[in-house]
């Protein structure tokens, strides 16, 4: 039997939902790669695993929560859905609502979302509105509309998004053969995903699916968009990792609680560290993730250099989205391709074979 999406695969762990309301793209079941080459580069005898969420149908982890949010919207008879987004939520919302035949409005910060994500939202047929402001301001507008009009908000403040996203933690445990990793590194933007994993691990452990300790949760923010690390909202967040360009995360308090309970930490990574990690992941393991996703590995590299990890520990890094969503930022500091005549000699010269 092939995979049937996260609601049906983890039915006992999901909020109740009528079978006829389920809207799925068969999301989930993404690769957990044992990253042997990356582990060798980082040292400390770490056993590093990469959870590549770019393999989801719209290319990011957002599909896990969106299947739940849109299915519930169908069950509850919603007439339309709306979200604010740095790009990936809008792509997922647009895709699932297209399948559900629900009108979908997405508000995105003008000029600050990756082209791949913008083209997805447009192509799936959402009403795309570019806001002359940042994500936090767009989310304020969405909250107000959700409160006062018959439109379902499908941002992570929707109560069904986080339960859907917990499925990723279930998969990690299942893929590790019923063991939790010692540490988990994850990028943090609006801070819902770090909460989702933690709740997922707790839920699975309570059900007896694993018996070792819960992982320590390590959340990484981009240096120019690090409200949680700095301890105050950032009015004008900046980072090349536009997916996590967020100055006032909706799940801030819960995320702080998660890190405390798990005895983990929050830290920052610079844009340079993010781009270097993105390249390292591609060159050692052949995975192309988007810049925000690489913040998890940038954080791993930073903490390993500081001697933070126990020798031989297992670490899962979450690669939240696909690199093809944002090729422009990936190649900003890369050399331009060679331009040559259609001529054998020119090719040989570049290869040093003439």
Determine the interface stretch with ligand F0G among 30-38, 182-190, 203-211, 267-275 (rule: CB under 6 A). Answer: 182-190
The verdict on 290 binding ligand F0G (CB under 6 A) reads yes
Binding mask 145-174 for ligand F0G (x = CB under 6 A): -----------x------------------
Size of the site for ligand F0G (CB under 6 A): 22
Q: Which of 133, 342, 98, 135 is nearest to 249 (CA)?
A: 135
Q: Choose one: 13-21, 87-95, 166-174, 272-280; the region binding ligand F0G (CB under 6 A).
A: 87-95
Instruction: List binders of ligand F0G among 314-333 (CB under 6 A).
Output: 320-321
Contacts of 316 (CB under 8 A, 6+ apart): 32, 48, 49, 50, 51, 172, 181, 183, 184, 185, 215
**Tokens read off for 147:** 């409160």
Name the minimum Å distance from CB 85 to ligand F0G: 3
Instruction: Give least dist CB 335 to ligand F0G, A.
Output: 26
User: What size, in residues, is the chain?
Assistant: 354
Stretch that binds ligand F0G, among 39-47, 81-89, 258-266, 331-339 (CB under 6 A): 81-89
221 binds ligand F0G (CB under 6 A): no
Instruction: State how far the alpha carbon of 163 is from the alpha carbons of 158, 209, 224, in Å.
Output: 10, 17, 30
- Please list, residue by residue across 116-136, b when 16 or more beta carbons sit within 10 angstroms of its beta carbon and e when fewer do: bbbebbeebebebeebeebbb
Q: Which of residues 234-273 bind ligand F0G (CB under 6 A)?
A: 243-244
Q: Which is nearer to ligand F0G, 70 or 313 (CB)?
A: 70
- Which residue stretch of 8-16, 80-88, 275-283, 302-310 sits at the interface with ligand F0G (rule: CB under 6 A)? 80-88
Cβ at position 13, least distance to ligand F0G in Å? 19
By the rule CB under 6 A, 128 interacts with ligand F0G: no
State which of residues 292, 298, 313, 316 lies at the interface with ligand F0G (CB under 6 A): 292
Pair 104, 95: CB distance under 8 Å = no
What is residue 125's DSSP assignment? T
To the nearest whole angstrom, how small is the minimum distance from the Cβ of residue 33 to ligand F0G? 17
| Cα separation, 325 vs 172, whole angstroms | 24
Q: Is the dihedral of CA 94, 87, 226, 229 positive or negative?
A: positive
Distance CA(238)–CA(244), nearest Å, equals 9
Beta strands (DSSP E) in the chain are 32-34, 47-52, 81-84, 104-109, 127-131, 152-153, 183-187, 216-222, 265-269, 314-319
Contacts to ligand F0G by CB under 6 A: 60, 62, 85-89, 156, 187-193, 243-244, 290, 292-293, 320-321
């Amino acid at each position: 039997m092939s995979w049937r999406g996260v609601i049906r695969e983890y039915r006992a762990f999901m909020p109740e939902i009528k079978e006829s309301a389920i809207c799925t793209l068969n999301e989930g079941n993404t690769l957990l790669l044992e990253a042997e080459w990356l582990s060798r580069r980082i040292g400390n005898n770490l056993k590093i695993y990469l959870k590549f969420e770019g393999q989801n149908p719209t290319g990011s982890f957002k599909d896990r929560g969106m299947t739940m949010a849109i299915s519930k919207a169908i069950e509850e008879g919603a007439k339309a859905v709306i979200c604010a987004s740095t790009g990936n939520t809008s792509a997922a919302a647009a895709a699932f609502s297209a399948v559900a035949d629900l009108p979908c409005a997405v508000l995105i910060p003008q000029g600050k979302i990756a082209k791949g994500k913008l083209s997805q939202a447009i192509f799936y047929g959402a009403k795309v509105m570019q806001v002359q402001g940042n994500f936090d301001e767009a989310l304020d507008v969405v909250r107000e509309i959700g409160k006062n009009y018959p439109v379902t908000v499908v941002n992570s403040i929707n109560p069904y998004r986080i339960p859907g996203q917990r499925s990723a933690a279930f998969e990690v445990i299942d893929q590790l053969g019923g063991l939790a990793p010692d540490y988990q590194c994850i990028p943090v933007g609006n801070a819902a995903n770090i909460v989702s994993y933690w709740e997922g691990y707790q839920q699975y452990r309570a059900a007896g699916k694993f018996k070792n300790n819960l992982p320590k949760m390590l959340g990484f923010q981009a240096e120019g968009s690090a409200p949680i690390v700095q301890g105050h909202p950032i009015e004008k967040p900046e980072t090349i990792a536009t997916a996590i360009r967020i100055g006032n995360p909706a799940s801030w308090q819960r995320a702080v609680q998660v890190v405390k309970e798990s005895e983990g930490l929050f830290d920052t990574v610079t844009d340079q560290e993010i781009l270097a990690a993105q390249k390292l992941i591609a060159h050692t393991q052949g995975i192309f993730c988007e810049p925000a996703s690489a913040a998890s590995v940038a954080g791993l590299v930073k903490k390993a250099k500081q001697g933070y990890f126990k020798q031989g520990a297992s670490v899962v890094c979450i690669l939240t989205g696909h690199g093809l969503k944002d090729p422009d930022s990936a190649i900003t500091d890369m050399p331009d391709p060679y331009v040559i005549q259609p001529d054998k000699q020119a090719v040989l010269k570049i290869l040093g074979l003439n």
